[in-house]
A and B are shown apart, each in its own frame.
Chain A
Amino acid sequence: MTPTLQLFLILSAALFCIGLLAALSRRHAIFILIGIEMMLAAANINFIAFWRFAPQPAQPTGVMVAIFAIAIAAAEAAVGLAMVIAVYRHFRSTNVDQLDRLKG
């Protein structure tokens, strides 16, 4: 008895939604980053799972895409955290509630 693709998809959907929850409902800017990283990881699970369950092609495209996605996610995390620090310096807060300069 092995887990089916459906199970992996449901799991990654759950992980994605927890990431979304973290990004949407927490006030701290770092949580938004954490949430986004979770969502990216969920997407990576999907890539790998689809690769694993699909008929095998010549190239492991899913694996390669996952590797690049991780690299880009790392870059995104570095810039995002730098922005958190810059924002904190500027506003003395990382509470996104108070960062409402975009307000119309």
Chain B
Amino acid sequence: MSTVAFAAIAIFTLAAALAAATLPKLMHAALSFAVMFVGISGFFFLLGAEFVGLVQIFVYIGAVAVLIVFTILLTRDDVENVRSFQWGGAIVAIAVFAGLIWAIAKTKSLPLTPPQIEPVTVQRIGELLMTNYVWPLQCVGVLLTAALIGALILVMEEKS
């Protein structure tokens, strides 16, 4: 875990995020969004949670980003009026950021160095999912099924 790597990933991620939030063309924004998730996965690798990083890439870049692109193509409402950018949102966002930074800076008891850890293997995560986290896993399964059916019903053409 080096500060150089951290700085590089941080700049990369934040730049992609800013692009995703501000690029006028939707398609560009969506692509930047996908790139941003690569950066976030980098953080997860950096922090030693490789499995989460991989899941992030599969789910977001493989599924969510593609879904977003499909939606953009389906709605064909691509170009956004740049003038309509709302500065109120920016002000709120900056205020929230300032508040969070203040809160983080004020908290003195944060640990500075990470302890040595055993790597979290996929096997261990699998065991945990099947033992201690079996109920949440079932719930998430039901939730995903419900979301799938719900999404289908929402986009189904109404029969006239």
- Which A residues have a C-beta under 8 Å from some C-beta of B? 1-11, 13-28, 30-31, 33-35, 37-38, 41, 44-45, 48-49, 51-56, 59-60, 62-64, 66-68, 70-79, 81-86, 88, 93-95, 97
A37 vs B87: C-alpha distance in the bound complex, in angstroms?
21
- Which 5 A-B residue pairings sit nearest by Cβ, starting from the closest? A24-B89, A25-B89, A22-B21, A75-B147, A82-B151
Chain B interface secondary structure, helix, strand, loop or mixed? helix
Is B3 within 8 A of A26, CB to CB? Answer: no
Inter-chain contact count A-B, CB under 8 Å? 246
- Which B residues have a C-beta under 8 Å from some C-beta of A? 1-3, 6, 10, 13-14, 17-18, 20-22, 26, 29-30, 33, 36-37, 40, 43-44, 47-49, 51-52, 55-56, 59-60, 63-64, 67-68, 70-72, 74-75, 77, 80-81, 84-90, 92-94, 96-97, 100-101, 104-105, 110-115, 117-118, 120, 124-125, 128-129, 132-133, 136, 140, 143-144, 146-148, 150-152, 154-155
Chain A interface secondary structure, helix, strand, loop or mixed? helix
Is A60 within 8 A of B20, CB to CB? Answer: no
Which A residues are in CB contact (< 8 Å) with B89? 20-21, 23-26
Is A63 within 8 A of B52, CB to CB? Answer: yes
Is A26 within 8 A of B85, CB to CB? Answer: yes
A67 vs B132: C-alpha distance in the bound complex, in angstroms?
14
Q: B62 to nearest A CB, angstroms?
A: 10
Is A37 within 8 A of B64, CB to CB? Answer: yes
**Which of B33, B47, B93 interacts with A48 by CB under 8 Å?**
B47
Which B residues are in CB contact (< 8 Å) with A15? 13-14, 17, 40
Which B residues are in CB contact (< 8 Å) with A18? 14, 17-18, 20-21, 93
Is B150 within 8 A of A82, CB to CB? Answer: yes
A67 vs B88: C-alpha distance in the bound complex, in angstroms?
34
A48 vs B112: C-alpha distance in the bound complex, in angstroms?
15
Specify the chain A residue showing the minimal Cβ separation from B100: A13
Specify the chain B residue showing the minimal Cβ separation from A1: B3
Q: B144 to nearest A CB, angstroms?
A: 5
A61 vs B9: C-alpha distance in the bound complex, in angstroms?
25
Which A residues are in CB contact (< 8 Å) with B29? 31, 34
Which A residues are in CB contact (< 8 Å) with B40? 15, 41, 44-45
Q: B141 to nearest A CB, angstroms?
A: 9
**Which of A7, A27, A60, A64 interacts with B6 by CB under 8 Å?**
A7
Is A13 within 8 A of B101, CB to CB? Answer: yes
